[in-house]
Amino acid sequence: LAKTTQPISMDSYEGQEVNITCSHNNIATNDYITWYQQFPSQGPRFIIQGYKTKVTNEVASLFIPADRKSSTLSLPRVSLSDTAVYYCLVGDRGLKSSGDKLTFGTGTRLAVRP
Amino acid sequence: DTAVSQTPKYLVTQMGNDKSIKCEQNLGHDTMYWYKQDSKKFLKIMFSYNNKELIINETVPNRFSPKSPDKAHLNLHINSLELGDSAVYFCASSFPGTGGTGELFFGEGSRLTVL
């Protein structure tokens, strides 16, 4: 399973764009990259998933370079409510595959200030 | 309507006791999981069931025994509780991935404190 490395913490101010980078040097061909958000006292919540290039949804964008050894979660114009822990996961979830062992790393604790 | 619900939300008990945490999902998913989040916020998978069949057991002590009476329920029973079992336990569910990581839906967690 590809191991991920993220910054432990980041600080930002309201209205700024935040980019959180995740390294996954030994990502496998069939692996996808998924990001989750976790607020205190809640379970993680799916944000975005991608395989290559760029994916965008109403919440965030995910940038994946051609070698796929890293990925960057981009949060446009953050607000105080975006203060949370963000987890990067890499894995292949074919039915009953060993990739079902989705492992969350330490995550990045984002603090958004007024 | 809560998609993945866990009970109880908080559990305080003494060492050596036996306790259970229940989980139910109404999303029609085939796969359910138990994760443990310790004080350092590491979130580690413990078990995974697909259609009531155990498919992942991540070197969890035998004191932990999951039970899945049907694919909508996955309960966790813990025998002889130890101080190190104190953590937040999350239940999650998903469809089996047809490619990539199937989105996980988590419950709100059950905070277990062993005294």
pLDDT of residue A93: 59
Domains of chain B by residue range:
4-97+105-114
Q: A73: exposed, middle or buried (C-beta count within 10 Å: 0-12, 13-18, 19+)?
A: buried
User: What is the arithmetic mean of pLDDT over A78-101?
Assistant: 76
Q: Report d(CA B10, CA B101) in Å as an integer.
A: 30
Tokens of A103: 């492992």
* A27-46 pLDDT tens trace: 888 888 999 999 998 999 99
Q: Report d(CA B69, CA B97) in Å as an integer.
A: 23
Residue B97 confidence (pLDDT) above 70: no
Q: Report d(CA B20, CA B4) in Å as an integer.
A: 17
* B35-58 pLDDT tens trace: 999 887 788 889 888 887 887 777
Q: Report d(CA A103, CA A93) in Å as an integer.
A: 12
% of chain B beyond a pLDDT of 70: 93
A61 is a domain residue: yes
A1 is a domain residue: no
User: Which of B91, B101, B105 has the most A C-beta neighbours within 10 Å, making it the best mutation to test the interface with A?
Assistant: B101
Residue A27: domain span: 9-113
Smallest Cα distance from B40 to chain A, Å:
8
A4 is a domain residue: no
% of chain A beyond a pLDDT of 90: 71
DSSP B2-63: -SEEEE-SEEEE-TT--EEEEEEE-S--SEEEEEEE-TT--EEEEEEEETTEEEEE-S--TT
Measure CB to CB from residue A101 to each of B58, B99, B105 and give the nearest one: B58
A26 is a domain residue: yes
pLDDT of residue A98: 45
Looking at every residue in chain B, the average pLDDT score rounds to 89
Residues 54-83 of A with CB under 8 A from B: none
Residues from chain B that touch A91, judged by Cβ atoms under 8 A, are: 101
Residue B96 confidence (pLDDT) above 80: no
Tokens of B24: 């139910």
Provide the domain count of chain A.
1
- The architecture of the domain spanning B4-97+105-114 is Sandwich (2.60)
Residue A99 pLDDT grade (very low, low, confident, very high; cuts 50, 70, 90):
very low
Residue A94 confidence (pLDDT) above 60: no
pLDDT of residue B56: 74
Residues from chain A that touch B27, judged by Cβ atoms under 8 A, are: none
The enclosing domain of A107 has a CATH number of 2.60.40.10
A3 is a domain residue: no
- Estimate to the nearest angstrom the gap between the alpha carbon of A84 and the chain centroid: 12
Q: Is B42 in Cβ contact with A106 (below 8 Å)?
A: yes
